[in-house]
Amino acid sequence: MPPSGTAECPRCRATLLRRRENGIERTLALTIAGLTIFAVANAYPFLAIEAQGQRTQSTLLSGSLGLIRGGQSAVGLLVLVTTVVAPLVQLSLLLYVLAPLHRGRTPRAIVAALRWLKRAQKWSMMEVYLIGILVSLVKLMDMASIVPGVALWAFVLLIPLLAAASSSLDLDEVWARVEVKK
C-alpha cells in the first residue's frame, strides 16, 4: 500500500489499514523526546514531603529502592521494573531499530529487538504507578505538605509520549524498509 494510503473493506467500507507518511521518522522523534523526558524524570526529585519541619525528597529510583530496603522487595522490584526498567528498554529498543532505518541501514538483530520491544511494552505500566502516587498524595495532603517535583511533571508528560511512540510505530513500514535494503 502506498504511503498515506487507506485500505477499506469493499463490503462495509470500514477502514482496515491506514498508512501515514514518515511513520519511522515520527516514531523516532517521539522516541528521542521520550528518552529526553525519561532522563529528566529520573534525574530530578519526584516529589518532596514536608512534615514537622523536615523535608524529604524522593526520586523514582529512590522510591523503589526504599521499598526494597523496607522489606517490600517484591513491590519494590515491581515498581522498579514497571516504571524505570521497562520504559527504558522500550525507548532504547525503539531507538535501536528506528535510528538505523532512518539512515537507510538495517539493525543487526532487528527481529530479536522487535520481540523484546513487544515484551517491554507489556511491562511498562507508568500510568498505574502515577495513579497510585496521586491516590497517596490525596491521602497525605492532610498530614504533610506535598511539593511536586520536576520529575513528576516529566513523568506525566512521558506517559502520553511513550503511548504515542508505541502507537505510531508501523511495523509494516519497518519491514518494507528492511526488505528494500536487502
- Per-residue confidence at 110, pLDDT binned at 50, 70, 90? very high
| pLDDT for the residue numbered 79 | 86
CB 64 within 8 Å of CB 76: yes
Query: Could you give the CA distance from residue 90 to residue 28 in angstroms, rounded to a whole number?
Result: 12
In this structure, what are the phi and psi dihedrals at residue 141, rounded to the nearest 5 degrees?
-60, -30
Q: Where are the beta strands (DSSP E) in the chain?
A: 6-8, 15-18, 47-51, 54-58, 145-148
Residue 180 has pLDDT above 70, yes or no: no
Q: How many CB atoms lie within 10 A of CB 1?
A: 13
Residue 99 has pLDDT above 90, yes or no: yes
- Per-residue confidence at 116, pLDDT binned at 50, 70, 90? very high
| pLDDT for the residue numbered 1 | 67
Residue 163 has pLDDT above 80, yes or no: yes
